[in-house]
Chains A and B, each alone.
Chain A
Amino acid sequence: MDSKLSAEPPANGKRPPVPVKIVIAGGFGVGKTTAVSAISEIKPLTTEAAITSVAAEIDRTGEVPAKVSTTVALDFGCITIDDDLKLYLFGTPGQDRFGFMWRDLSHGALGAMVIVDARRIDDCYPAVDYFERMELPFVVAVNLFDGEMVHDLKDLRWALAIAEETPLITFDARERLSVRDALIELLKHALERATA
């Protein structure tokens, strides 16, 4: 599995867990960081990302690498699943211009949760398009800011034009158990796809 990166395991007999990940996507201010904070066992961290993957993509096309100076913030948190498994949640901006980051993040992900603010649903279109194209299992989770839905889910499903089997749910990004249930919904969907 790990080619030349393998060294002797630590002498104390403790081995690091195997990491798995879920991508949390959506427009600015829809509650990605809030959702990660609600369920992460560490205080969510922020790091700058993406320069290298952009450069790599340009190299492959054989073009002169453009000078890339854009950095974007990547928020993430984690949950210990068991002794040998750790789940990472990576929150990423949902705009088209950050799409290059999604490729890196979705590679090997269990799935994605696309968070939507029902008052401005078009913010999530790029993410929905992307995960559909990548055939990555995803759920669309409407963050109930005020505990009230502006549209009913049927109208919303129609507006989003997502496949019938793609779960469309409501949740509260501030509530730990609500975020947990949304993630479970996503994984059950992923499981169905994996066993289909």
Chain B
Amino acid sequence: MRPYLTAGDGLRSLEPDGDVVSRLRPYLLTSGRAEPVDQTLEIEAQVMTTEAGALAVQRLPFEHRDIVRLCVVSMSVAEVAARLRLHIGVARVLVADLADLGYLYVVRPSLPNSHNPNLIERVIRGLEAIR
């Protein structure tokens, strides 16, 4: 009998069964940290890749690389999470880290401004333009 014929089951069990990525614990990508460097980063904050980020893309670990590639067009932290299928807390950590490295430019909402009449009127005008 050929030596490994009966070992078939044993060998197979070493192989990942099914979707490996989905089995990762959510915070494995962030070295276990659940809190971003800046804990207050809002999920609607806008994120855009900087020139430094674009130049560094090849040297980045894959989870960072995906974000830097994606954000050549600006989008929110929530969109980064949804498009890369990351838990939103994970996306927050990764985005904050990349911004800290200077690879992402972040525009945060002006929170006290949410009661600003001029701002509210601008949004009303924008909505009225929808046909």
Contact = CB atoms under 8 A, between A and B. Distances in A.
B127 A110 contact: no
B39 A1 contact: no
B48 A52 contact: no
A20 interface: yes
B106 A2 contact: yes
26 contacts: A1-B110, A5-B41, A5-B96, A6-B99, A10-B48, A10-B51, A10-B105, A19-B107, A47-B81, A47-B86, A47-B87, A48-B88, A51-B87, A52-B89, A74-B88, A85-B123, A86-B46, A88-B78, A90-B43, A108-B42, A110-B120, A180-B127, A180-B128, A180-B130, A184-B124, A195-B117
A19 B52 contact: no
Interface in A86-116: 86-88, 90, 104-105, 107-110
Contacts of B103: 7
A150 interface: no
A16 B51 contact: no
A134 interface: no
Given A8-B102, A45-B79, A184-B124, A177 B130 contact: yes
Contacts of B88: 47-50, 52, 74
A82 B122 CA distance: 8
Contact of A16 (B38, B42, B74): B74
The interface size bin for chain A is 35 or more
Contacts of A174: none
Contact of A81 (B41, B81, B87, B123): B123
Q: Which 5 A-B pairs have the closest CB atoms?
A: A81-B126, A16-B74, A16-B46, A45-B82, A108-B111
Nearest to B91: A47
Contact of B35 (A19, A52, A76, A194): A52
Interface string A45-83: 111111110011000000000000001001010111110
B109 A16 contact: no
A51 B89 contact: yes
B114 interface: yes
B44 interface: yes
B128 to A, nearest CB: 7
A9 B107 CA distance: 10
Given A3-B38, A19-B76, A191-B121, A49 B43 contact: yes
B130 A176 contact: yes
Given A51-B89, A79-B130, A184-B127, A56 B35 contact: yes
A15 B48 CA distance: 8
B66 interface: no
B92 A52 contact: yes
B47 A39 contact: no
A151 B106 CA distance: 47
B130 A107 contact: no
A82 B123 CA distance: 9
A195 to B, nearest CB: 5
Given A11-B51, A87-B123, A5 B102 contact: no
